[in-house]
Structure 1
Amino acid sequence: MTAAPSSYAVLPADLQADRDIIVSLWISNLGHPGRRQDKYDWFYLRNPAGAPHVLLAHAPAESGTPIGVIGLGIRQMRLAGQPVEAGLLTDFGVVAEHRTLYPAMLLQTTLRDRFLPQLGLILGFPNPKSEPVVKRLGYKVAGRMVRYVRVLRTSPYLPKQIPHTIRRLVGRAADWSRHALRRSRHAPDARGYLAQWLDQPDARFDALWNAQNDPTLLIGVRDRAYLAWRFEHKPWKKFRFLTLSSREDGLVAYVACEAVGKVMHVRDLLCHPDHPDSLDLVFDTLFRDAYNDGRTSVSFEFLGPVGMVEALQRLGMVARDARHVMYTMSEARAETLSQAQWYFTNADEDS
């Protein structure tokens, strides 16, 4: 039987002493047991922005067994040249026998009331099951994180009723036509640029980050230190950076990529504001390299300025599905943040 509301208590966790309890709650609620210890070491113990906060729900009351968990990572951001510190909702779950609205709401409410006054902004990427909970707490939708896809190999997507040989021939003809058109369109613009794959970001990434100057953009820090940590290789993930450089300005664009099966996923993107063609050129190179590597498509989740979205669409990236980025802010932050453009990719998440 689920405990009565009055018998629940939410208390801060100790990241060292409560490690096994937290990881156990993750495994029972969030799955992927083989990854949870590594996630704890990476996100909770090596986070360059500082140690995340973790709250545990207990039942009955303070002396009871932990039955729920929620985390809040720190995300350093910037708006109009000024630092903005935000909290990132993460790793939220309640054990099955207590999975009613009250324990979930109590965890979320306690976290919001405890940390929003000092941070001023809390944001998250809730799954469909969690979204009703955060909406009830006053979280608003910052925008839609849209997944854009560019098909590289046509034949797997043609109707299965078409014979395999014909489907393959038609697909190859369509692929050749599209890629030839793309190369003819971008070849003259690519002169003076060098594309290169890297396993780790180098010092040039700091210069590209420092060149960002849009005063309306709310964007998470993307300097070398953050990217090296965020895209640190894990036992189940491997990332690489495709970079685009010019002779005059050094690094002008990068995409952080992860190959999963036949799909090349773009996990992050940043372009130099003085090189408006850099997005087209770096993606054109990515399409070519991914195709040569046997990938069937390129996928990219993004919430950002309209101009960048239109550029992605011109490149043949088609919107497939979307999820909400949710946020709540303090009154002190409202005037500063209410008119901001949001810039989010998978690099702003916790996985």
Structure 2
Amino acid sequence: MNAQLAAPAYAARQGDVARDRDAVLSIWRGNLGEDAHMPAKYAWFYQQADAGPPLLELLTADGLEVGACSAGRRRMLRDGKPLRAGVLVDLAVLPEHRSLGPALMLQQGLAATARNELDLLYGFPNPKAVPVFKRIGYRPLGDLVRYVRVLRHGRYFARRLPQWLAYPAGMLADLFLRLRDALSHPDTALLHADWSESTDSRVQALWVRSTKPDGIVAVRDQAHLTWRFDRSPQRGFRFLLLSGADGSLLAWFATRLQDGILHVHDYWSLHGPAVGTRHIAALLRAAREAGHAAVSIELATAPIYLAPWQELGFVARGKRPIFGCWSAQTGGEVPTALHFTAADEDE
């Protein structure tokens, strides 16, 4: 009669970004994204981050590394004061060890470390992971909502209309909305719009001059944007820079094109997250001129900052919850305001 195999002895330990690189990449292999992309991601996110190396937690089974998760450090402000934040990323466990107990042990270890080194640890769990997040001590912060504005309606009408009718009708809708936008926001013509492949010193000057809102918001200085977009292994980010008559930067949008849709991953303006309708109208005009079918943005923000996007026709198309875990020193209360974009994730 075969003896029953003993269950592995699991343990969680703090990792070291330099020492444990090979172990982490081995855990990721076949379990987290495209294998060929992983070394470049590790170099960028773990070894070059502007806020310092992430917190790294490893799960061992009988002394062998079988799981990993991390918290990427983020420089943020809370009501204008520095906040040490971290975004939960890259949870991976080898298939033979994927059960609730080991995964919970791994995340509990990371959360315990984070409570000593960070003010806030946040993440974007999928629906199945929400009960686990709550059990560890995470609480809802808000929802990251995806908003979309269609610019070229032909392919969207084709889902409901015959093709011979969909595309002519789409062209008429496109023309009508383009004229409406131009007539509703004539001051857009006073803005000078430039596409740039990278950040420049004007971005830093804008951050210094800009209004910082109440609640939680990421630091958007040149150092962060250079790391987050210019050096990202995900190529294709472009900045739309909007300037006034004197050449000073008034607003920027960090974008990336995928499948004909221009995704706005981040933005900022002289008034902080309170970007004006004329700036958004300039973004739409630039996207139209480039031939893009739609513009999308993911936002978790106060209604006053969302209103200009809705006024320009952006419609909600899905959402994801944001959960956070506060350290004891912060008091643990949920803030009244939150301004997150897709850039507040890991990639």
Q: Same fold (TM over 0.5)?
A: yes
Report the secondary structure of 2:207's partner residue: helix
1:290 to 287, 291, 295: 287
Once residues 73 and 316 of structure 2 are traced to their aligned partners in structure 1, the CA distance between those partners, rounded to angstroms, is 30
1:20 to 8, 17, 22: 22
* AA partner of residue 177 (structure 1): F
* Equivalence map 1:256-275=2 (5 Å): 256-273=254-271
* Structure 2 CA distance for partners of 1:22 and 1:11, relative to 1, 3 Å: same
Name the residue aligned to 1:95. 94
What is the count of residue pairs matched by the alignment?
A: 344
1:102-135 deviations in Å (ceiling 9; x for gaps): 1111011111112212312111122334333212
* Equivalence map 1:83-162=2 (5 Å): 83-160=82-159, 162=161
8 Å contact from structure 1 (residues 153, 296) kept in 2: yes
* AA partner of residue 122 (structure 2): L
Residue 259 of structure 1, CA deviation: 0.4
Name the residue aligned to 1:224. 222
Residue 3 of structure 1, CA deviation: 6.4
Residue 214 of structure 1, CA deviation: 4.1
* AA partner of residue 20 (structure 1): D
8 Å contact from structure 1 (residues 257, 266) kept in 2: yes
Bigger mean CA deviation after superposition, 259-268 or 112-121: 112-121
* Equivalence map 1:286-325=2 (5 Å): 286-325=283-322
* AA partner of residue 347 (structure 1): A
* Structure 2 CA distance for partners of 1:160 and 1:215, relative to 1, 3 Å: closer
Once residues 190 and 139 of structure 2 are traced to their aligned partners in structure 1, the CA distance between those partners, rounded to angstroms, is 44
1:160-216 deviations in Å (ceiling 9; x for gaps): 4633222111110011001111011112x2354211111111111122212343452
Bigger mean CA deviation after superposition, 145-154 or 158-167: 158-167
Verify: 1:194 aligned to 2:188, yes or no.
no
Once residues 180 and 52 of structure 2 are traced to their aligned partners in structure 1, the CA distance between those partners, rounded to angstroms, is 48
8 Å contact from structure 1 (residues 152, 291) kept in 2: yes
Residue 58 of structure 1, CA deviation: 0.6
Residue 231 of structure 1, CA deviation: 0.2
Report the secondary structure of 2:276's partner residue: helix
Once residues 174 and 12 of structure 1 are traced to their aligned partners in structure 2, the CA distance between those partners, rounded to angstroms, is 56
* Structure 2 CA distance for partners of 1:206 and 1:340, relative to 1, 3 Å: farther
Q: CA RMSD in A?
A: 2.1
* AA partner of residue 180 (structure 2): L
Once residues 214 and 235 of structure 1 are traced to their aligned partners in structure 2, the CA distance between those partners, rounded to angstroms, is 29
Name the residue aligned to 2:329. 332
* Equivalence map 1:196-211=2 (5 Å): 196-211=194-209
Verify: 1:240 aligned to 2:242, yes or no.
no
* Structure 2 CA distance for partners of 1:2 and 1:91, relative to 1, 3 Å: farther
8 Å contact from structure 1 (residues 72, 90) kept in 2: yes
Residue 315 of structure 1, CA deviation: 0.7
* AA partner of residue 345 (structure 1): T
8 Å contact from structure 2 (residues 54, 70) kept in 1: yes
* Structure 2 CA distance for partners of 1:301 and 1:3, relative to 1, 3 Å: farther
1:307-345 deviations in Å (ceiling 9; x for gaps): 12121111100000000111010232126x633411111
8 Å contact from structure 1 (residues 28, 95) kept in 2: no
Name the residue aligned to 1:8. 10
* Structure 2 CA distance for partners of 1:58 and 1:152, relative to 1, 3 Å: same
Report the secondary structure of 1:165's partner residue: helix
2:37 to 35, 38, 46: 35
1:31-84 deviations in Å (ceiling 9; x for gaps): 311211110010001011111121110112xxx221110111111101233111
Report the secondary structure of 2:143's partner residue: strand
Bigger mean CA deviation after superposition, 141-150 or 341-350: 341-350
TM-score, length-scaled by structure 1? 0.91
Once residues 53 and 326 of structure 1 are traced to their aligned partners in structure 2, the CA distance between those partners, rounded to angstroms, is 18
TM-score, length-scaled by structure 2? 0.92
Report the secondary structure of 2:90's partner residue: strand
Once residues 327 and 28 of structure 1 are traced to their aligned partners in structure 2, the CA distance between those partners, rounded to angstroms, is 28
Runs of 5+ consecutive residues of structure 1 not aligned to the other structure: none
Residue 13 of structure 1, CA deviation: 2.1
* AA partner of residue 257 (structure 1): T
